[in-house]
Structure 1
């Protein structure tokens, strides 16, 4: 099962949800994210959160247009997104796409990237998507990667270090290198010179980010 979760990040940074309608089996709206789903004419399978980011009118709209509606108090231990992820896990998904989780509060954005690790540990394919970025975490292994012509691809260490990183099919190739969490920019803004590239590494946890130069927030 492929699950899409939409949180209430800034609307201008939201990816075009209509592109993913046929790729998602179950949609979860977290707080204001449920209203984003309605605005894209996407049925809400589950709406969840404290809904402190919406007016009473919008909350009623969400409530009456959701198959399942779960409202929580605003004082709680989890963010609305974490509640949505916990709910998604009960459906044993193979993949989860996260929308509306970037470009807002920095503390939330960093915490949301950390939530990817929780999904990685359960062997669930997970990606954070906005209008110009895709963010994923990887365990050691060999992976094929493709990208649109205008996309840049960056590699960062999520763990203290990543050992044995090699890049093939990229403009800037790499062979058996170590990158550290401590702040190297060596693997930023690479791009493919073939239709498909390969990255592989031996140990650590790797962040892979696809980005475009588009800037509709300015």
Structure 2
């Protein structure tokens, strides 16, 4: 399985331990300051992209000394550094793209970074946004399987379209059958699996699926 890990420059306190996700099959891309984040976790990215406007000269020297392939863009550009990194990740055509360091800072950036999962999904690639307390995916209509993870026991389904049609949840403490869920509804917040595996399906709309835990867990 081919995996690309994309790391942004979000605050360190929101990050999981990146070494937990590192292996020989992971291709790492740093977005701007995300390159320093990777180096702090003793991971050398294969590619670094961005305008690097958040990095000073000494930090840039540190990056250069690691022989990272750098793609530098003008600060006057239409895309964010993370979008450029995701575009590069999609070009590699992996099975999965993990996004790290993309939450916990500015809310406008955090919201659009979550929405970037749509672009990954439309490219036929599984996209996952991971921070210390959450595992977030975006799903299009169909039947989907979801597995129990002890550190993320809560599961929420959040419409990202005006409505989600025929949402069915099986294997959950709070099951659902062919329900229309409107944008802004809290109906499907904080569910849990009954066992190790559950399924969910819907026929129309877009869903954000969030596996989460309490901050103090």
The bucket for the TM-score relative to the shorter chain is: over 0.9
Question: Which ranges in structure 1 are unaligned for 5 or more consecutive residues?
Answer: none
Aligned in 2, Cα 1:9/1:46: closer, same or farther, shift over 3 Å?
same
> After TM superposition, what 4+ stretches of structure 1 lie above 6 angstroms from structure 2?
none
TM-score by length of 1: 0.94
TM-score by length of 2: 0.94
The aligned counterpart of 2:15 is: 14
Q: Secondary structure at the match of 1:15?
A: coil
Equivalent residues of 1:46, 1:66 under 8 A apart: no
Note the C-alpha offset of 1:135: 0.9
**Which of the numbers 152, 155, 159 marks the counterpart of 1:153?**
155
Structure 2 CA distance, aligned partners of 1:52 and 1:88?
Answer: 21
Question: Which ranges in structure 2 are unaligned for 5 or more consecutive residues?
Answer: none
Mapping of residues 51-130 of structure 1, within 5 Å: 51-130=52-131
Structure 1 CA distance, aligned partners of 2:124 and 2:90?
Answer: 11
Aligned in 2, Cα 1:4/1:24: closer, same or farther, shift over 3 Å?
farther
Q: Secondary structure at the match of 1:98?
A: strand
Structure 2 CA distance, aligned partners of 1:5 and 1:103?
Answer: 16
CA-based RMSD of the aligned residues comes to 1.4
Note the C-alpha offset of 1:87: 1.2
Note the C-alpha offset of 1:178: 0.7
Aligned in 2, Cα 1:7/1:66: closer, same or farther, shift over 3 Å?
farther
